[in-house]
Structure 1
Amino acid sequence: MGGYLMGAAQTTSAVPRGGTTQADSFFMLQQKIAGEFTDFTVDNLGNLYVLNQSGQLKKMGPAGDSIAVFNNVRQYGKIHFIDVSNPLKVLLYFKDFGTVVTLDRFLNTRSTLDLRRRQLFQVKSIGQAYDNNIWVFDELEGKLKRIGEDGRLIDQSSDFRLLFDSMPSPQFIVDQNKLLYLYDAAKGVYLFDYYGTFKNRIRFTGWTDFSVINNTLFGRDAGMLYRYEPGTLNLQQYPIPAAMQSARKIKIMPGNLYLLRDHQLEIYSYR
């Protein structure tokens, strides 16, 4: 993420009611997509994946044009998580049924995996692995595991209960550039290598909409966006404009910020 977010790191002061902050001018509204969306995500090609109230998942191009639709979500219940870190292989996680559905780039079903049949009964989060396999965190055994689309165990970490005084319960698993990031909003970021070896812990807590772009961490709370490059001491804080603070979800991508409201998805550019 460049330019403006880096330069805008600051301590904010009070603004008179009805006034605007400098931060308001950093984002320029580019597009509004009307719809009753419950969730969304964006891949690294700028394609949008929106989930509507009926459970339909739609893929749209950067300009909002429809590319594909996946309607078979009701079979497995509510989608808990959508991983599009590899646009050619979309992962859907249905936590209530312990099921991972793998889709191709046109949202056709490639495979379906029932984690419970593989003795994985308490999996809060999953993530795309660097080798096109799947990361899961098995809370029952306290281990990070890499499994195939068929559920076979490829590799696993040591028991987290032996590694840490208090075992993390990650909501996000992000695999990027030879590092694995586990984020627990109550405990912070845990960094591992591809072999499941613990490297570092960064105590940033209370973040939502956690993401990693080019090994830079992004997150937010009610009033601030955060940017941090591991290995530095520079946590950059960027005030969220007042008009955006009521957003249900905010996702930052290079060059664009995506904001979900009750009746529409908004796309902003920034410099």
Structure 2
Amino acid sequence: MNMIKSLLFTFSLLFLSLAGFNQILTKSLDGNQFTTDQFGNFYDISSREVKKYNKKGELLFTYSNNILGEISSVDVINPLKVLIYFRDFTKILTLDDAMSVRGDVLNLNDLNLEETSLVCRSYNNGVWFYNPIKYQLTRIENRQVINVSSNLSNLLGENIQPNYLLEFNEKVYLSDIKSGILVFDIYGTYLKTIPIYNVKAFQVKQKYILYVNANQQIEIYNLFTLEKSIYQAEKYDDVKSVRIEGSNIYILSKKNQLIIDKIEL
């Protein structure tokens, strides 16, 4: 009996070891949101501080600000020019890859963009802004307005309330919980609406949109086939946020635990 128990114990340890083989890191985050960059670094974002870690979980740099109010969003699509938006004070800062401030603070009041609710980085060092009063997207370069969309409320025949904005691969994506994800070209011209609802944030990667659905599961939408699929539902069922960089998937649980795993296909 002792030998059987010993064998069972050995097999149990082996199973647990293999089950966790793909897992790279588990780390508790301090902030209420996170993001990642193309190099696999992740950013722990709290109301007044951003901590940058490498994928090993080693702290690289920290940015903090107690003057400009709470941090509304952080865009690291260009990790050499990190964009931080302070909605309460209608100001934007740009940080370098060491999380140090680059250049002057951009005051949106000076550009008549004081009603901005969402901000994201655009191509050619541009920035997109969404105005919830005028229902418009505006793009600037070098502090000059370059593109302005139509009134989206009139165009769609409904009063949208977008909660997330990003640009990827010459397309602009604007998410509304009830209406879905609106897609625009790089000039702000409306193209279509993707039927993905009730998402707080999402990531566009090549031909996929990655997000957490209403059941706290990781869901993938194929932009080519228009099909939706659930990723590892039996393993990840209480997800708050998710991102992919390279061959790794970054999963933030409702308990604010960040898990970095190898992607299993």
TM range (shorter): 0.7 to 0.9
1:144 counterpart = 2:144: no
Counterpart Cα distance in 2 of 1:204 and 1:169 = 15
Following superposition, the deviation at residue 247 of structure 1 comes to: 4.1
Contact 1:70 1:107 in 2 (8 A): yes
Is 1:127 the counterpart of 2:120? The answer is yes
In structure 2, distance between residues paired with 1:183 and 1:26: 35
Q: 1:146 to 1:266 in 2, by over 3 A?
A: same
Match of 1:48 in 2: 42
State the distance in 1 between where 2:139 and 2:35 align. 23
Rounded to whole Å, the distance in 2 between the matches of 1:183 and 1:215 is 17
Q: Which has the higher contact order (CA 8 A, sep 6+)?
A: 1
After superposition, the Cα gap between the structure-2 partners of 1:41 and 1:227, relative to the gap in structure 1 and judged at 3 Å, is same
Amino acid of the structure 2 residue aligned with 1:184: D
Specify the SS of the correspondent of 1:161. Answer: helix
Range with greater deviation from structure 2 (218-227 or 40-49)? 218-227
For the residues of structure 2 that align with 1:208 and 1:27, how far apart are their CA atoms? 31
Tell me, yes or no, if structure 1 residue 168 matches structure 2 residue 160.
yes
Structure showing greater Rg = 2
User: So what's the TM-score if we normalise by structure 2?
Assistant: 0.82
Alignment of 1:225-236 (within 5 A): 225-236=218-229
Q: Give the paired residue count.
A: 243
Q: Which letter does structure 2 place at the counterpart of 1:238?
A: Y
Q: Which runs of 5+ in 2 are unaligned?
A: 1-18
Aligned to 1:75: 67
Where does the alignment leave 5 or more consecutive residues of structure 1 unmatched? Answer: 1-24
Alignment of 1:46-125 (within 5 A): 46-52=40-46, 55-71=48-64, 73-110=65-102, 111-125=104-118
Structure 1 residues 203-260: Cα deviation after superposition (integer angstroms, max 9, x where no partner) = 2111233111114211112242221222423222235346x43444333334222233
Deviation, 1:104, is 1.3
Q: CA deviation at 1:264?
A: 4.1
Instruction: Tell me how large the CA RMSD over aligned residues is.
Output: 2.3
Return the match for 2:189 from 197, 222, 225: 197
2:37 is aligned with 1:37? no
Whole-Å Cα distance in 2 between the matches of residues 253 and 184 of structure 1? 25
- The two structures have a TM-score, normalised by structure 1, of 0.80
Deviation track 1:14-45 (CA, whole Å, cap 9, x = no partner) reads xxxxxxxxxxx699321123453332211011
